[in-house]
Amino acid sequence: MRLYYLTAERWAKKVIEERRVKISLFGELNDPFELLPHVLPTKNHRRVANILRDHLAGQRGVICFSTNWENPVMWAHYGHKHYGMCLGFDIPNELAMQISYEPKRLTFDVDLSKFNAGLTPEIVKAMLLTKFEAWRYEGEYRVMADLKDKETDGHYYASFGKTLMLREVIIGVRCETSQQEVVSWIGKIGHDIQIRKARLAFNDFKVITQKMQPVVLTGKSGHDV
């Protein structure tokens, strides 16, 4: 499926030139309720939830995408106030995990008298993929990644390939980088990539594509990295 990754222009350049996307740690995300979607009425509930949260955060990272690049609020929050860029990736459906947006915190259905508190895969999935209803505008999907092979800069990365294929680069409304400059970043990745310039819609609160000829880089299927 096609999913979108909004970021500042300098980070978009880094992603494209290095052919990889940084994996975020849960502790770095902007929602302090990450991995804590449940009602935690007692100290024992909180203890179990915190142990599981710390375990998950130490084992897994995440790459966050959106289904909708036309939302101006998304550009404001994640696209450097419209000075940034949006990268469109093709990702296998089975790897893209949809966020569930809930108006209230979930029931923490555990049995504190049992070993491992009776934790189930469903509880773990809810922890990884539940956010408050107010975040719904993001239309978020996540790709989970095991935390291994930390780079010398202290971060983890997912490389371009069959599970992360760059297909679009959308230049933000306020971004002054040209399509031809983006072409120079892309080089010989080796498959079709469309480079477009965004503008504000005239009749709606939307970001849309300028009516100008997009630049399309054509190559063989797959990435040459």
Which residues is 64 bridged to in the sheet?
Answer: 142
Q: Are 205 and 175 in contact (CB under 8 A)?
A: no
pLDDT recorded at residue 120: 86
How big is the chain by its Cα radius of gyration, in Å? 20
Residues in CB range of 130: below 8 A, 6 or more apart:
37, 99, 100, 101, 102, 106
Query: pTM of the predicted model, to two decimals?
Result: 0.90
Give SS3 for 161: strand
pLDDT value for 219: 61
* pLDDT score, position 91: 97
CA-to-CA dists, residue 14 to 9, 48, 85, 89, 119, angstroms: 9, 39, 12, 16, 40
Give the C-alpha separation, 70 to 86, whole Å: 10
pLDDT at residue number 186: 93
Q: What is the Cα–Cα distance from 142 to 164, expressed in whole angstroms?
A: 12
List the chain domain ranges. Answer: 2-163
Each residue's pLDDT, cut to its tens digit, for the chain (225 residues) gives 999 999 999 999 999 999 999 999 999 999 999 999 999 999 988 988 999 999 999 999 999 999 999 999 999 999 999 999 999 999 999 999 999 999 999 998 877 677 677 788 999 999 999 999 999 999 999 999 999 889 999 999 999 999 999 999 999 999 999 999 999 999 887 568 999 999 999 999 999 999 866 677 766 544 533
What is the chain's percent helix, strand, coil content, to nearest 5?
30, 30, 40
Which pLDDT does position 206 carry in this prediction? 97
